[in-house]
């Protein structure tokens, strides 16, 4: 039933004026169509994904099992065109592999380092540290692969047989430079020729463990 908005008396829905007070009657508004309530958008579910499992190499017939023993990052080589190439030295029982440090690999290592910090609930500071010091996580990256897989990872990667290394000479440069802290030079003398490496890290103790004290001079 409708009512007059002026005097409150009941009126017929078809009337245009109130029979009691004569006030014009407003037509009843059509009911609004029913709109179902909006369902909330599903929230993304974040899961802590553990780091990928290591990949183990099947031993090659005629060779003993070969695994990654040492990973030394932030090493550079000056090629014949006098261009500095940054690489990572991966040492196994049999070979020393020089893997190029490309922007793509550096990005992958950084992503894996941040994922590891997230999985371990290290928070913002842990992720920031993983981004800034990503070179410290190269061992975790390369120890997932076999030496053969590392050798084939990037064109230009190469290896020398550890049995051909006669001597590794070490020379320190600009150690008194407070700004840079100096750097180290490493000369690999092999039966096939010499190879000169440089790094801001002094890997003398690592080389002695990997190749033997008698080789490192």
DSSP notation for the chain:
-EE-TTT--EE-TT-SB-TTT-PBPPPPPPPPPP-PPPPPPPPP----PPPPPP-PPPPPTTS----EEEEEEEEEEE-TTS-EEEEEEEEESSEEEEEE--HHHHHHHHHHHHHHHHHTT-HHHHHHHHHHTGGGGHHHHHTTS-HHHHHTTSTT-EEEEGGGEEEEEEEEE-TT-TTT--EEEEEEEETTEEEEEEESS--HHHHHHHH-TTTB-
Q: What is the reported pLDDT for 156? A: 92
Q: What is the reported pLDDT for 122? A: 67
What are the structural domains of the chain?
A: 68-211 (2.30.29.30)
Q: What is the reported pLDDT for 65? A: 73
For the whole model, what pTM was predicted?
0.62
pLDDT per residue over 116-169, tens digit each?
777 666 666 655 554 545 567 788 889 889 999 999 999 999 999 999 999 999
Spell 47-67 as b/e; 16+ CB within 10 A means b: eeeeeeeeeeeeeeeeeeebe
Tell me the C-alpha distance between 53 and 149, whole Å: 15
- Burial bucket for residue 32 (CB in 10 Å: 0-12, 13-18, 19+): exposed
Spell 2-12 as b/e; 16+ CB within 10 A means b: eebeeeeeebe
Q: What is the reported pLDDT for 136? A: 74
The residues of the chain scoring below 70 in pLDDT are: 1, 8, 25-64, 80, 119-135, 175-181
């Amino acid at each position: 039933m409708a009512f007059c908005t002026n005097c409150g008396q009941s009126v017929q829905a078809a009337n245009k004026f109130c029979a009691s007070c004569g006030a014009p009657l407003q037509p009843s508004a059509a009911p609004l169509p029913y709109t179902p309530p909006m369902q909330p958008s599903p929230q993304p579910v974040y899961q802590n994904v553990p780091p990928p499992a290591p990949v183990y190499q099947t031993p090659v017939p005629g060779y003993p099992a070969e695994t990654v023993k040492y990973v030394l990052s932030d090493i550079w080589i000056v090629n014949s065109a006098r261009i500095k190439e940054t690489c990572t030295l991966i040492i196994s029982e049999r070979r020393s592999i020089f893997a190029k440090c490309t922007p793509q690999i550096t990005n992958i290592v950084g992503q894996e380092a941040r994922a590891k910090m997230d999985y371990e609930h290290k928070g913002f500071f842990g992720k920031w540290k993983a981004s800034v010091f990503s070179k410290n996580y190269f061992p975790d990256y390369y120890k997932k692969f076999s030496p053969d897989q590392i050798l084939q990872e990037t064109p230009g990667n190469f290896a020398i047989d550890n049995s051909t290394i006669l001597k590794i000479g070490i020379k320190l440069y600009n150690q008194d430079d407070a700004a840079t802290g100096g750097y180290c030079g490493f000369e690999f003398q092999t039966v096939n020729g010499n190879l000169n490496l440089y790094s801001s890290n002094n890997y003398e103790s690592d080389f002695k463990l990997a190749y033997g004290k008698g080789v490192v001079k």
